[in-house]
Amino acid sequence: MTSSSAALIIDLCKEKHFGAAMGTFGTIYDVGHASGPILAGILIARLGYQYSFWIMAAILLAAIPVFILNVTVHPKNE
């Protein structure tokens, strides 16, 4: 996951902004890595496993159109 995400970031940004783009990606990745288990634990404690998985599935499904509408990859050979 990290390798493909980093490759997408490199494809989307200009060469002079690689450092800033990768730094931002690293920060977002680390925040998600740290907060994910905490938020999942809260959901499971309050709602149980079944509803927690349904909520996480809904969030993932909602993220798909956001990703598709906001990320367009253009070949470098243009």
Domains of the chain: which residue ranges? 2-70
Which pLDDT score is estimated for 16?
A: 85
Residue 24: HSE in the Cβ half-sphere, 13 Å Cα cutoff:
8
* Angle between helix 2-12 and helix 18-47 axes, rounded to 10 deg: 140
Report which DSSP code applies to 33.
H
What's the pLDDT tens digit per position in 19-75? Answer: 888 888 889 889 988 998 999 999 999 999 999 999 989 999 999 998 888 776 666
Which pLDDT score is estimated for 14?
A: 80
In this prediction the pTM is 0.55
Side chain identity at residue 65, one-letter code: P
